[in-house]
Amino acid sequence: MGRAKRRVSSTGVTLTGELPDTRAMVAFLAPDARGAWHWFGLQATLAVLSILVALATPALAAVAIDQAVAGRIGWGFLGLAGAMGASALFAMASGPAASRFGVALGGRLTRRMVSHALDLGLPGRRPFSDGDLLNRAGSLAAGMPGYASTVLRVATGLAMAAGSLAALLFIHWLFVVVWVAGVALLTVVARRFMGALSAQQSDNDELVGRIVNAYTDALAGRRTIRAADTVDREVDRVTRPLPALAATSRNILRLMGRGAVVLQSADTGVLVATAVAGIWLLAGGEATPGALLAAVRYAQMAYNSVAGVFDNGWFHIALLRSQASRVMELAETPAMGKGSCGVPADGERGAIQLEDVWVHGEGEDILRGVNLQIPPGATIALVGESGVGKTTLATLLGRLHNPDRGTVRIDGVPVATWSSQALAGRVGYAFESPALLGDIVRDAITLGYDADDAEVEAAARRVEADAFIRRLPNGYRTSLDETPMSGGERQRLGLARAALRDSPALVLDDALSSLDVATAARVFAALGTLSEDRTAIIVAHRASTAATADLVAWLVDGRVRRIATHAALWDDPAYRAAFVVTERDSAAVEER
């Protein structure tokens, strides 16, 4: 059984987990090892062959020495040479086999953890911060395949020790007594080191996660930090855990150093005691010179095998158990779930329905019993003051996270039952600050969607992005790293991505905020003509944007207060107060 351990996540959520034992670790890694076991099997086979050759080598050396003392060179010498050559070949082959297994297992495990991390939902709706999530799903998960190799190393070390002891017993029982006495003391000391090392490594991983998270937050808000001239304060915040991290690192190194000293001291003691016992037996005529040298070698092999089990085996396992507990804790955190059904064969395209939808936040409800029906082809704006749940409502349609209660349907089918591929094809998103992923501008628009150049350029023209893209050094093939863009240009690339897919439902999460009013109106009109039955949901912060919609859903305190046209709602002062009205917006309203 694992040792229970309680931690508090970076978002304040208490997480209770256990340091996993070998059975739990193997069960966790096994699904990702399919297709890679043959490499592990080859590694294990080579390890067994190496053990057999290693155990035979001292015996062959003893025969060769005794034959040489007798004045002849016989089969012992030839056998020793062959064993040493085979040992070198096995060692050369085992490294690549271990690497192939580690790469195959590590790649699959990392993909599984990253995929699961993405399924946890948006920040604030999961018990892990961005930096902690990156650490768990990335570096810690990538290091877990080393556990299989470590377990194999422990098993081969124990087998080598057992074989060496059997050889010592065959030579003389006194050698076994001397060896067991030395290793018994080593075992007691090593157990103390393992417990202390696991605890220190767990604290070390927790501190690393805090630093990565703080650094990630600082990178995301670097413009705000520079504008507010708070760089020094942010540096202090990011580096605040460093003294504690340095202390835990020193403790880990100190423990490992003490362990190395103990292991080396015990090694020397065992060898000296074995040599003394061998000389005494040689003087009494109970051993030959070759047997004495073989006994010393077997004693060294047995001790080094056990020491390796502690140092490179159990000590390493202690570190891996601590890291694995964090990865497995991530894997055990419930995801939103994945549906399996595809696009309905018949029926409407883009009809949206929310039934008694509730979303809980930290200490309060974000959405409270929302009921909303949007007919296919309609355009509806979500309006309300900051924090009333407009963006949260919009994210429910594409299952960026799930409601805590209630049902969201598209074309009569609950979105919770849709496959991610089917849902991505039905709901397109354009965000206020779109992530531009890929190597070149074209990649940022297609984002994995299979389209030819003509389709990509047509989508860009619809949202008035084609002109500025063609002004770039290499047009659509300009590297994103070499493409400084304004907020409006980034938004138009995000809109071009949505336009390219022509999804029946389109969510614009304040995706026109960086465009001037005239451009925003033209872009929205172009999006509206892409499909006659396209349903559009706009998170609107400007009155001019809401005015372009067929209907407005006015949200107050997490509820839909009223659904009507923008013109009908405009007479209500509370509705007007929901907007941050710019001078241009005011002028546009007066013209209407």
**pLDDT tens, residue by residue, 322-336:** 778 888 888 877 666
CA atoms within 13 A on the CB side of 242: 8
Q: Confidence band (pLDDT; 50, 70, 90) for 371?
A: very high
Q: Where are the beta strands (DSSP E) in 237-364?
A: 352-360
| Burial of residue 533, with CB atoms counted within 10 A of its CB: 0-12 exposed, 13-18 middle, 19 or more buried | middle
| Burial of residue 355, with CB atoms counted within 10 A of its CB: 0-12 exposed, 13-18 middle, 19 or more buried | middle
Q: Confidence band (pLDDT; 50, 70, 90) for 315?
A: low
Pairing of strands 379-383, 405-410: unpaired
pLDDT at 343 over 70: no
The 3-state DSSP composition of the chain as helix, strand, coil percent (nearest 5) reads 65, 15, 25
Q: Round to whole Å and give the CA distance between 32 and 144.
A: 11
pLDDT in tens, 276-304: 777 777 777 777 777 777 777 787 787 77
DSSP 366: E
Quote the pLDDT of residue 132. 74
Please report, as a single letter, which amino acid is at residue 405: R
Quote the pLDDT of residue 592. 38
Which range, of 166-175, 375-384, 399-408, 550-559, averages the lowest pLDDT?
Answer: 166-175
Answer yes or no: are the C-beta atoms of 266 and 183 closer than 8 Å: yes
∠ Cα 47 49 55 (to 5°) = 100
Higher pLDDT, 554 or 306: 554
Residues listed for the chain = 592
Q: Which of 333, 343, 289 is nearest to 132 (CA)?
A: 333
Q: How far from each other are the two terminal CA atoms of the chain, in whole angstroms?
A: 72
pLDDT at 11 over 60: no
Quote the pLDDT of residue 528. 58
Rounded to an integer, the average pLDDT of 307-312 is 69
Quote the pLDDT of residue 365. 83
Quote the pLDDT of residue 291. 77
Q: Which two tokens stand for residue 326?
A: 């964090």
pLDDT at 556 over 50: yes
Cα-flanking dihedrals φ and ψ of residue 74, to 5°? Answer: -125, -150
Q: Confidence band (pLDDT; 50, 70, 90) for 14?
A: very low
CA atoms within 13 A on the CB side of 113: 29
Cα-flanking dihedrals φ and ψ of residue 352, to 5°? Answer: -120, 140
pLDDT in tens, 197-219: 767 777 887 788 788 778 877 77
pLDDT at 12 over 50: no
Rounded to an integer, the average pLDDT of 250-265 is 75
Is the whole-model pTM more than 0.85? no
Q: Confidence band (pLDDT; 50, 70, 90) for 590?
A: very low
∠ Cα 435 436 438 (to 5°) = 130
Quote the pLDDT of residue 213. 76
Residue 463: C-alpha distances to residues 76, 333, 526, 546 (Å): 84, 40, 7, 18
Which range, of 40-44, 236-240, 271-275, 517-521, averages the lowest pLDDT?
Answer: 517-521
Query: What radius of gyration do the chain's Cα atoms show?
Result: 34
Quote the pLDDT of residue 356. 92
Quote the pLDDT of residue 382. 92
Pairing of strands 413-414, 405-410: antiparallel
Quote the pLDDT of residue 555. 92
Quote the pLDDT of residue 552. 92
pLDDT at 402 over 60: yes
Q: Round to whole Å and give the CA distance between 448 and 441.
A: 13
Answer yes or no: are the C-beta atoms of 140 and 205 closer than 8 Å: yes
